Amino acid sequence: MTNELRQKLAKIYALIERGATEGEKQAARAALDRIVEKHGIDADKIDDLTKREMQFTYVSIMEQQLLFILLEKFAPDHSQLERRQYGKKTMHTKIDYLQAVTVECAYEYFRRHMKTQWIINCAPLVSRCRTTKGANKRRAKLQGSFMATYFLRSGLIDESKITEEECRSKEDRERARRVDGVQGGAYHKQADSGRYLN
């Protein structure tokens, strides 16, 4: 498929999705059917016309989990691409342009805010450990509770997906106290489709 044909199909497909009137949508559908029949194009390829391949870079497990949650929230129909590059932690996905803008902006906002909340609430507890092994063990225990609390308070996940833990030891109580001070982010969606009329 040539680039010119791809652009033409993308424009016709956009008319089908966002046409002003039913007549315009039907005319676009008829034009799309003619072009598909003429060039012998698969239906799967047409659905991929509006999607772009995006690459997101992450550093930690928390950022990776944040990406998964943002993609599920803002682009539920995304398709994950398995592509790994040596030495880089990247996630590749195919999503619509507006979804890509929303996920990218939300990721930058929540990544920075989440890091700040981690530094304020949990990093002092990890830095008290005397050995690297102890710090890694404490960080791993804290991250799960921290992420669940942060995502819940930011409105990124439902409360039904979180299970409560029982605080048995002094360390568990300290961890619960630290995580209790975590504040969620307040992200407001930047992009919109512009479809305001029924």
Angle between helices 61-74 and 97-121 (to 10 degrees): 140
- 79 and 121 assigned to the same domain: yes
pLDDT exceeds cutoff 80 at 1: no
Per-residue pLDDT, averaged over 87-111, amounts to 83
Q: Is residue 189 in some structural domain?
A: no
Same domain, 87 and 113: yes
Question: Is residue 198, in this structure, part of any structural domain at all?
Answer: no
H helix intervals, 122-184: 123-127, 132-153, 170-180
Average pLDDT over residues 56-72: 88
Q: Provide the pLDDT for residue 111.
A: 92
What range does the domain containing 124 cover? Answer: 51-180
Nearest-CA neighbor of 52 among 88, 78, 85, 89?
78
Are residues 25 and 95 located together in one domain of the fold? no
pLDDT of residue 112: 93
Residues 6+ apart with CB under 8 A from 58: 64, 66, 67, 89, 90, 91
Pair 37, 59 in one domain: no
Residue 56 near residue 91 (C-beta atoms within 8 A): yes
Pair 37, 57 in one domain: no
Q: Are residues 70 and 15 in the same domain?
A: no
In this structure, are 102 and 133 located in the same domain? Answer: yes
Q: Which pLDDT score, from 0 to 100, does residue 196 have?
A: 47
What is the chain's mean pLDDT, rounded? 78
Quickly state the pLDDT bin for 96 (edges 50, 70, 90). confident
pLDDT band at 87 (very low <50, low <70, confident <90, very high): low
| Residue 194, in any domain of the structure | no
Same domain, residue pair 88 and 145? yes
**Residue 90 sits in the same domain as residue 143:** yes
DSSP state letter for 131: S
Integer Cα distance of 121 and 146 in angstroms: 9
pLDDT digits (tens, 9 = 90+) for 18-54: 666 788 888 888 888 888 788 777 766 666 666 777 7
Tell me the percentage of the chain whose pLDDT exceeds 90.
Answer: 8
Q: Retrieve residue 96's tokens.
A: 């619509």
CB 150 within 8 A of CB 184: yes
Let me know if residue 197 belongs to a domain.
Answer: no
Q: How far apart are CA 167 and CA 171, in angstroms?
A: 8
Residue 196 lies in a domain: no
pLDDT of residue 44: 64
At 158-175, the pLDDT tens digits run 777 666 666 677 777 777
Average pLDDT over residues 83-96: 71
- 13 and 80 share one domain: no
Q: Are residues 73 and 35 in the same domain?
A: no
pTM above 0.85, yes or no: no
Q: Are residues 56 and 36 in the same domain?
A: no
| Residue at 118 is within a domain | yes
Name the band, by pLDDT with cuts 50, 70 and 90, for residue 75.
Answer: confident
* Within a domain: 158: yes
State how many domains the chain has. Answer: 2
Residue 15's pLDDT band (cuts 50, 70, 90) = confident
User: Does the pLDDT at position 198 exceed 50?
Assistant: no
142 within domain boundaries: yes
